[in-house]
Amino acid sequence: MENMTKFAISLTNGEWEANRAKAMNEKLEKDGHTYMIDTCNTADCGHETGIKKDDEGWVIVEEYPDREASVKGHKSWIAKIKKNPNLKLEDCRNALGWAFGD
């Protein structure tokens, strides 16, 4: 429940907007698909990369300990998608674990 609380607070205190302003975004068109690769520092889970393919939902593919690691990870995910656009994306966490803790 702690992550849900942190996320809700970030929406009301301006933290969410501040973090989104620093986000790294990349839109890729590859093999007839559109990919959005988004890396940011979130109030609830820290630095993370999410990828959205076409109209499918977001998949959080990796979390990082700090901004430096997230910049490297963001670039790595761009390269992975460019190399293999059919890469199976796997969520690095589950919804219940996020919402209620491990």
63 backbone φψ class: left, alpha, beta (φ>0; ψ -120 to 50): beta
pTM: 0.75
Vertex 50: Cα angle to 26 and 54 (nearest 5): 65
Q: List beta partners, residue 53.
A: 35
Tens-digit pLDDT profile for residues 36-87: 999 998 877 789 999 999 999 999 999 999 999 999 999 999 999 999 998 9
Report which secondary-structure segment, H or E, holds 62: strand 59-64
Question: Are 2 and 101 within 8 A, CB to CB?
Answer: yes
In this predicted model, what pLDDT tens digit does every residue of 4-32 receive, in sequence order? 565 555 445 555 465 556 678 899 999 89
